[in-house]
Structure 1
Amino acid sequence: MQRVVDAGASRIGLVLGETATARDWASLVDHTLLKPEASEADITRLCEEAAQYRFASVCVNPTWVKTSVCVLRGSGVPVCTVVGFPLGATLADVKAYETRRAIYDGAREIDMVINIGALKSGDDCAVEYDIRAVVEAAHEHGVLVKTIIETALLTDDEKVRACLAAKRAGADFVKTSTGFAKSGATVADITLMRRTVGSEMGVKAAGGVKGITDARAMVEAGATRLGASVGVKIAQEASGQKTTSSAAAY
């Protein structure tokens, strides 16, 4: 639970208050760039924006963890990376290795994709085992784990089962989406996920958060973290600034 509080879940009341600032909103955003064509220059710019706006983290593919750590050194902004991404179809021990390697490279948060096929097959034990393999590898080093359930591919019953498997496995967050499926976070899904996991886990809305209006709706539904490629736009809109072209560059 302390990992979730430290990661921003306790800020939820502040964000919904009238005194919430752009910095408060930024502190909930994982500033994200997971496109396969992202270049080193793109990643560097992402990290520089994260340092400027004080986002919760940057979320990048594993190949860019070391670069991101170097750019962000001294900023206080941690690096998040993805495991089993985007399909979730790699073996549990491979996901555990990915996790350990990412931590070795400097990652402080892990967003892992569940075994969606196992969930669809009714094998919740396999789903939980898969998540637990990553959780144990990460928590050994005090690293946060967010579990991506890919809501666009699931029925409501499957969403509940996935959330409960993540909770049993000791994950810190449940997360809606990879951003690579047909759709991303919805208010209805965030509401369902929050109701399922209760107050002791974080809920991350990702995919389709396009600005402060979407961000506010997700937070009001129960999200405690926002995954978005438009973090700068969210922060600028929260402060009443006119958004710049770079805010929507990703």
Structure 2
Amino acid sequence: MATITETALAATLDHAILKPELTRAQVDAELDIAAQWRVFSVCVRPSDVAHAAQRLAGTGVAVGTVIGFPHGTTSTAGKVAEAAQALADGATEFDMVVNIGALRSGFDEVVTADIRAVVQATGLHITKVILETALLNEEEIVRGSTLAEVGGADFVKTSTGFAGGGATTAHVRLMRGSVGPRMQVKASGGVRSYADALQMLAAGATRLGTSASGIILAEARRGDQGGAALGAVDNASY
């Protein structure tokens, strides 16, 4: 398996700080981990965006957040308002959850309009569309990926990490093959080790969402590929 340097790997990581039970002290500890390891970004709860932007100022770590999380059933107007507030608070990346029920119902125009509205609300900033692949069949994953591209998003993403299943290499490959070269793929949900990260990147992901950034990068520093092989990974914690 190909390897990747610690620095290059850190540049692919969105450090997830999304568990609803986290206290401010726990959030701060995770923000400090992100700064220590110089990951690409954090992905925080919407109510934490302003605080995260202030705490991470000058570190080079971007602040991202989630929209319509975790179920995707927020109205389009609600998602737009949430994105606008997060943008005002200092977020520069936005991971929105697709309307999963609409996607499964075949309401492609509804799904596309929902995505496009959030993309327009975030302006020139990066928007990622979370499909929640554990709840979809292959046809729905392909169609969801295509609709994310049609709606103007920058990434299509596997999972929230809160739906009982996470990223798989098979789903990452399927998503990568469903969109053009402009679009990128983010693998999230259960990426817990350096070995997991390597396999997701090899499958076509260019960004990884994980709450285990410190563990992964410490393993990368040691050159440790002994983590669990990844077909479908355990989704214990984002």
Q: TM-score, normalised by structure 1?
A: 0.87
What do residues 127-154 of structure 1 show as CA deviations (whole Å, max 9, x unaligned)? 0001011000012xx2110100000000
Q: Is residue 44 of structure 1 aligned with residue 28 of structure 2?
A: yes
User: Between Structure 1 and Structure 2, which shows a larger proportion of helix residues?
Assistant: 1
Amino acid in the other structure paired with 2:202: E
Which of 201, 207, 223 is 2:183 aligned to?
201
Structure 2 unaligned regions, length at least 5: 225-235
Which of 148, 153, 156 is 1:171 aligned to?
153
Q: Is residue 53 of structure 1 aligned with residue 37 of structure 2?
A: yes
Q: Aligned residue for 1:35?
A: 19
CA 1:241–1:21: 2 relative to 1, 3 Å: closer
Q: What is the CA distance between 1:98 and its match in structure 2?
A: 0.4
Q: TM-score, normalised by structure 2?
A: 0.92
Task: Kindly indicate whether the alpha-carbon contact (under 8 Å) linking 2:72 and 2:100 is maintained by their aligned counterparts in 1.
Answer: yes
Task: Kindly indicate whether the alpha-carbon contact (under 8 Å) linking 2:2 and 2:198 is maintained by their aligned counterparts in 1.
Answer: no
Q: How many residues align?
A: 227
Q: Aligned residue for 2:228?
A: none
Q: Per the alignment, in what secondary structure is the counterpart of residue 67 of structure 1? A: helix
User: What stretches of structure 1 move > 2 A for 4+ residues in a row?
Assistant: none
RMSD: 1.7
Q: What is the CA distance between 1:240 and its match in structure 2?
A: 0.4
Amino acid in the other structure paired with 1:202: Q
Q: Is residue 81 of structure 1 aligned with residue 65 of structure 2?
A: yes
What do residues 169-228 of structure 1 show as CA deviations (whole Å, max 9, x unaligned)? 110000000000110000000000000013211100000101001100000000000000
Q: Aligned residue for 1:110?
A: 94
Q: Per the alignment, in what secondary structure is the counterpart of residue 204 of structure 1? A: strand
Which of 206, 214, 221 is 1:232 aligned to?
214
CA 1:170–1:201: 2 relative to 1, 3 Å: same
**Which whole-Å CA distance do the structure 2 matches of 1:99 and 1:87 have between them?**
16
Q: Per the alignment, in what secondary structure is the counterpart of residue 185 of structure 2? A: strand
Task: Kindly indicate whether the alpha-carbon contact (under 8 Å) linking 1:34 and 1:61 is maintained by their aligned counterparts in 2.
Answer: yes
**Which whole-Å CA distance do the structure 2 matches of 1:212 and 1:241 have between them?**
8
Task: Kindly indicate whether the alpha-carbon contact (under 8 Å) linking 1:113 and 1:149 is maintained by their aligned counterparts in 2.
Answer: yes
Task: Kindly indicate whether the alpha-carbon contact (under 8 Å) linking 2:190 and 2:237 is maintained by their aligned counterparts in 1.
Answer: no
Task: Kindly indicate whether the alpha-carbon contact (under 8 Å) linking 1:203 and 1:224 is maintained by their aligned counterparts in 2.
Answer: yes
**Which whole-Å CA distance do the structure 2 matches of 1:235 and 1:98 have between them?**
32
What do residues 47-93 of structure 1 show as CA deviations (whole Å, max 9, x unaligned)? 11111111010011001111111110111111110000000001111
Q: Is residue 183 of structure 1 aligned with residue 165 of structure 2?
A: yes
Which of 93, 116, 122 is 1:132 aligned to?
116
Q: Aligned residue for 1:101?
A: 85
Q: Per the alignment, in what secondary structure is the counterpart of residue 209 of structure 1? A: coil
**Which whole-Å CA distance do the structure 1 matches of 2:128 and 2:147 have between them?**
13
Which of 223, 239, 242 is 2:205 aligned to?
223
**Which whole-Å CA distance do the structure 1 matches of 2:133 and 2:60 have between them?**
31
**Which whole-Å CA distance do the structure 2 matches of 1:171 and 1:179 have between them?**
20
Q: Per the alignment, in what secondary structure is the counterpart of residue 158 of structure 1? A: helix
Task: Kindly indicate whether the alpha-carbon contact (under 8 Å) linking 1:26 and 1:234 is maintained by their aligned counterparts in 2.
Answer: no
**Which whole-Å CA distance do the structure 2 matches of 1:212 and 1:224 have between them?**
15
What do residues 99-154 of structure 1 show as CA deviations (whole Å, max 9, x unaligned)? 00000000000000011111111101100001011000012xx2110100000000
Structural mapping, 1:138-153, within 5 Å: 138-139=122-123, 142-153=124-135
Amino acid in the other structure paired with 1:116: I
